[in-house]
Amino acid sequence: DDAAADAEAGAPSAAAADDRSIALLGGRPGSAPEGRRRGLVIGQAPPGPPGELPADYKPLQGHPERRLARLAGLAPEELWAVFDRIDLLGWCPGAKPRKAYHLASCGYQKHMRDGHRFPLRDARLAAGRLRQFGDFGRRYAVVVLCGRHVAAAFGMSMSSRAVPWMEELDGVRFLVLPHPSGVSHFWNDEASWHRAAGTFRAVLRLAR
């Protein structure tokens, strides 16, 4: 499986990287009033190494957050007024190698990127720590997982599942969406887009 094969020696430990994600779940300016639970959006990982990221980098910023905001029928700043956001992995595992049939030399003319590696073993460790120490059930009305790989890291079965879907684990409501990057072919289908938008907007009401 591609995700399992992506584990690499020399990467930061999942425990160390995820300590930063857990810290990000602490209070921050603009957090919801006491007693009002927000939502949380969990992406895969930063898109590059620290030295290549903007000084003010935030998870899912740029195209992914704009797609999520459109799904919600909101501007990005309105979306993040309701949801917190973190990367599951605190480091970038690097880009996937292109498959031969995706090369321009073979006549392929669709997306020119294949996304990033996703070391599932490390991601499962990170997800386990977040579930244990993130206090999701008390803090969040819903937790949005961006992509099937992130859902797998949280222990959700992929068999016979079509995104988007809702699932409750240990008292926490999870929504699994396709990853909001342009790499996912899900977004090329208009009916799929509207299904995801309808589901996300219904879930949004839980966090407002």
The DSSP secondary-structure symbol of 167 reads E
Identify the weakest region by mean pLDDT among 3-17, 105-119, 183-197: 3-17
The DSSP-derived string for 100-120 is: GGGSGGGT--S-S---B---H
Q: How confident is residue 37, by pLDDT bands cut at 50, 70 and 90?
A: confident
Token pair for 59: 């998870």
More confident residue, 85 or 48: 85
pLDDT of residue 156: 92
Provide the CB-side half-sphere exposure for 113 (13 A, CA). 10
pTM of the model: 0.76
- Give the contacts of 69 (CB within 8 A, at least 6 positions apart): 75, 76, 78, 79
DSSP β-bridge partners for residue 95: 116
- Predicted confidence (pLDDT) per residue in 166-204, tens digit: 999 999 999 999 989 877 778 888 999 999 999 999 988
Distance CA 124, CA 48 (A): 21
